[in-house]
DNA sequence: CATCTATACGTACGATCGTTCGGTCTAATA
DNA sequence: TATTAGACCGAACGATCGTACGTATAGATG
């Protein structure tokens, strides 16, 4: 009875998982630039030094590859935005400010080569029903729900005394973030991040947020 | 001397222009859903009852077709947003409010099958340098410049006493509009338009805008 | 009038797409 | 140990892509 389900490294299954991981690492960058429909099994295989048919069997179909890509991007987003904000801040308004900062940094750092993966995927699939869109919607909703909950906690703590609708503020903040992302890419400029940060600060101050906290929102601009 | 440059219907040039017009009418709708890269000469030809090679000669190359599509969409945008707002309002804050209303209506009405053409094209090409992106950037900038000028006139007229940076407000307003567009398409809901209208009203009021004018911002929701 | 030019077509080209199939190799399993 | 199952490949499939060429037609132009 000493076996059960042991982790045997470099087994056959482990090798497959590693291949998938490597391929998806390319896929998320490619998709952020060319779109999820712009993904190509052939090019992905070439980049990962695999055969075309090898990649095809590894994912089954292009649609499954696209869904796996969305899931991989979701994990990167959590690691790069949600987790850091969670570590650097406490619940409440502080957390909300940290999420905004981390998001702007994540976009500015070009964690994905073509900017925010989900901003691109959402617009690409907003009029294309199907499983891929469902996956994109699910991931986007998850993020916005998390931001809404974070805002609600700030409300409950009395840190945003003039706000009663958390979802409304979520809408406004993500509007700023995504608009900054697109404009920064279009104009190769960091100015949009400054505008987004300013807009968020102004709004939070107007809602009665503590200026000392709100003023922490800003960007350590990297953009070329 | 009765000729000069007479409009001779069904001349050779006129027929070509009509063909291009009909093809582009399909192209702008297709591109708003499938993207500008999703355009296909073959499918466009089929939809317009032309031969594939006919469409190809009519536009020269796919890239020129894409640029012509951007220009056609630009004209539609002017007809559907800028012109109506210009007719229904005077310069100043009234014009700014009208532009917001017309834009929300234009998105909600699905003037383009896949929502705002430029919101889609901007995100699709924000990381893809080239002539097509340049055309998209030019059209987008033209719109934002016009909105900025309209805001500046409101400032100059003393209608937004607490605002000094017209571009900042432009950034915030278009953020709301585009976010509403995408979310309405993703969720087949009109709620995002309400949120965008509310966000714009709140912001304009905070800047000292006349409530009687600002309250005119709203949507006569059509969305399914 | 003759000449030029642009629409429009059929056909064909090479490239690339997603997918399928047969087969080899080897780790996991019974 | 024998069997199963998954990684991975080469080759080929039908489809579709953008583009090019030759040609017929007819309006514009000199």
- pLDDT value of position B10: 57
A206 contacts in chain B (CB < 8 Å): 206
- What is the distance in angstroms measured between the alpha-carbon CA of B58 and the sugar C1' of C6? 9
Q: Which of A171, A160, A162 is nearest to A95 (CA)?
A: A160
Contact B123 A120 (CB under 8 A): yes
A190/B contact by beta carbon, under 8 A: no
Q: What is the pLDDT of residues A181-222, one digit of tens each?
A: 999 999 999 999 999 999 999 999 999 999 999 999 997 766
Q: What is the 3-state secondary structure (H, E, C) of A82-103?
A: HHHHHHHCCCCHHHHHHHHHHH
Nearest to A171 among B171, B186, B195 (CB): B195
Q: Which nucleotide is nearest to A13 (CA to C1')?
A: D6
Nearest to A127 among B33, B127, B179 (CB): B33
Q: How far is A153 from chain B (nearest CA, A)?
A: 21
B140/A contact by beta carbon, under 8 A: yes
Q: What is the pLDDT of residues A53-62, one digit of tens each?
A: 999 999 999 9
The mean-pLDDT minimum among A27-31, A93-97, B5-9, B109-113 falls in B5-9
Q: How far is A116 from chain B (nearest CA, A)?
A: 10
* Span B168-195, average pLDDT: 98
Q: How far is B49 from chain A (nearest CA, A)?
A: 25
B174/A contact by beta carbon, under 8 A: yes
- What is the distance in angstroms measured between the alpha-carbon CA of B68 and the sugar C1' of C2? 35
B134/A contact by beta carbon, under 8 A: no
The reply to whether A21 has its C-beta less than 7 Å from any atom of strand D is no
Q: Which of A198, A197, A180 is nearest to A189 (CA)?
A: A180
Query: pTM of the entire structure?
Result: 0.94
C-alpha B209/C-alpha B100 separation (Å) is 14
**Percent of residues, chain A, with pLDDT higher than 70:** 93
A145/B contact by beta carbon, under 8 A: no
Q: Which of B120, B149, B125, B150 is nearest to B137 (CA)?
A: B125
Tokens of B208: 């000292």
Nearest CA in chain B to A114: B127
- What is the distance in angstroms measured between the alpha-carbon CA of A211 and the sugar C1' of D12? 67
**Percent of residues, chain B, with pLDDT higher than 70:** 93
The reply to whether B52 has its C-beta less than 7 Å from any atom of strand D is yes
Q: What is chain A's mean pLDDT, rounded?
A: 94
Whether the per-residue pLDDT at A8 is higher than 70: the answer is no
A122/B contact by beta carbon, under 8 A: yes
Angle between helices B191-206 and B166-187 (to 10 degrees): 160
- pLDDT value of position A10: 56
**Percent of residues, chain B, with pLDDT higher than 90:** 89
Q: What is the pLDDT of residues B67-120, one digit of tens each?
A: 999 999 999 999 999 999 999 999 999 999 999 999 999 999 999 999 999 999
- pLDDT value of position B221: 66
- pLDDT value of position A90: 97
Q: What is the pLDDT of residues B114-152, one digit of tens each?
A: 999 999 999 999 999 999 999 999 999 999 999 999 999
Q: Would you say A145 and A123 are in contact if contact means Cβ atoms under 8 Å apart?
A: no
Q: How many residues does chain B have?
A: 224
Nearest to A186 among B113, B122, B196 (CB): B122
Q: What is the pLDDT of residues A164-179, one digit of tens each?
A: 999 999 999 999 999 9
Q: Would you say A95 and A154 are in contact if contact means Cβ atoms under 8 Å apart?
A: yes
Contacts of residue B215, defined as CB under 8 A and 6 or more positions apart, other chains included, come to: B201
Which letter, b or e, does each residue of A12-24 get, where b requires 16 or more Cβ atoms within 10 Å of its Cβ?
A: eeeeeeebbeebb
- pLDDT value of position B15: 78
Q: Which of A170, A80, A76, A181 is nearest to A122 (CA)?
A: A181
- pLDDT value of position A1: 30
Contact A127 B114 (CB under 8 A): yes
- pLDDT value of position A223: 58
Contact B179 A179 (CB under 8 A): yes
Q: How many residues does chain A have?
A: 224
* Span B166-184, average pLDDT: 99
Q: What is the pLDDT of residues B3-16, one digit of tens each?
A: 333 334 456 677 77
> Confidence band (pLDDT; 50, 70, 90) for A4?
very low
- What is the distance in angstroms measured between the alpha-carbon CA of A57 and the sugar C1' of C22? 14
Q: What is each CA distance from B29 to A122, A223, B113, in whole angstroms?
A: 18, 34, 5
Q: How far is B142 from chain A (nearest CA, A)?
A: 14
Tokens of A53: 């048919």
The mean-pLDDT minimum among A11-25, B129-143, B154-168, B177-191 falls in A11-25
- What is the distance in angstroms measured between the alpha-carbon CA of B27 and the sugar C1' of D19? 20
- More confident: B189 or A15: B189
- pLDDT value of position A13: 79
Whether the per-residue pLDDT at A7 is higher than 60: the answer is no
Contact B37 A33 (CB under 8 A): no
- What is the distance in angstroms measured between the alpha-carbon CA of B7 and the sugar C1' of D25? 22
C-alpha B35/C-alpha B28 separation (Å) is 9
């Amino acid at each position: 009875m000493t076996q059960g389900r042991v982790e045997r490294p470099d087994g056959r299954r482990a090798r497959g998982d590693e291949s998938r991981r490597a391929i998806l690492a390319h896929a998320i960058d490619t998709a952020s630039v060319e779109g999820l429909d712009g993904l190509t099994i052939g090019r992905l295989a070439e980049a990962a030094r695999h055969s075309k048919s090898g990649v095809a069997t590894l994912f089954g179909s292009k649609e499954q590859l696209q869904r796996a890509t969305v899931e991989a991007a979701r994990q990167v987003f959590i690691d790069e935005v949600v987790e850091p904000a969670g570590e650097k801040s406490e619940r409440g308004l502080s957390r909300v400010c940290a999420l905004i900062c981390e998001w702007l940094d994540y976009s500015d750092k070009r964690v994905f080569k073509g900017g925010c993966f989900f901003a691109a995927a959402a617009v690409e699939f907003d009029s294309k029903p199907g499983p891929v869109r469902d996956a994109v919607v699910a991931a986007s909703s998850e993020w916005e729900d998390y931001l809404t909950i974070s805002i609600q906690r700030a409300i409950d703590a009395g840190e945003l005394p003039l706000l009663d609708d958390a979802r409304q503020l979520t809408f406004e903040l993500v509007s700023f973030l995504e608009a900054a992302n697109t404009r920064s890419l279009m104009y190769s400029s960091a100015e949009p991040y400054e505008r987004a940060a300013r807009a968020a600060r102004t709004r939070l101050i107007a809602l009665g947020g503590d200026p000392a906290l709100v003023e922490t929102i800003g960007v350590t601009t990297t953009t070329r």
